[in-house]
């Protein structure tokens, strides 16, 4: 959803003053359904639980990856294995 962030920022720049005006004239409810839709965008997600040891290996490889390319590839391999369900 982070890719929607710039778009949402542009929309909010116009949306906020309009909503303030609508509340002043007692029509603040007009955009309630759209706000609820936006607030529920993140409801559908997948949660992966990874053991602490895999997390520590990933963290260690992350620091090493600043200097060594093989560690960067290791991070990607672990991430793919986690998403594929091979590592839990």
Per-residue pLDDT of the chain in tens (88 residues, 90 and over written 9): 677 788 888 988 998 899 999 999 999 899 999 889 888 877 777 777 888 998 899 899 999 999 999 999 999 998 888 887 766 5
pLDDT of residue 56: 92
pLDDT of residue 1: 67
Alpha carbons 52 and 31: distance in angstroms, whole number: 44
| Residue of 82, 78, 50 whose CA lies nearest to 64 | 78
């Amino acid at each position: 959803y982070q890719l929607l962030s710039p778009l949402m920022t542009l929309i909010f720049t116009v949306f906020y003053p309009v909503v303030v005006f609508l509340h002043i004239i007692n029509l603040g409810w007009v955009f309630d359904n759209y706000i609820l839709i936006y607030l529920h965008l993140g409801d559908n997600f997948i949660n992966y639980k990874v053991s602490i040891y895999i997390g520590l290996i990933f963290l260690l490889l992350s620091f090493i990856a600043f200097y060594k390319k093989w560690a960067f590839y290791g991070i990607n391999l672990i991430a793919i294995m986690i998403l594929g369900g091979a590592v839990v």
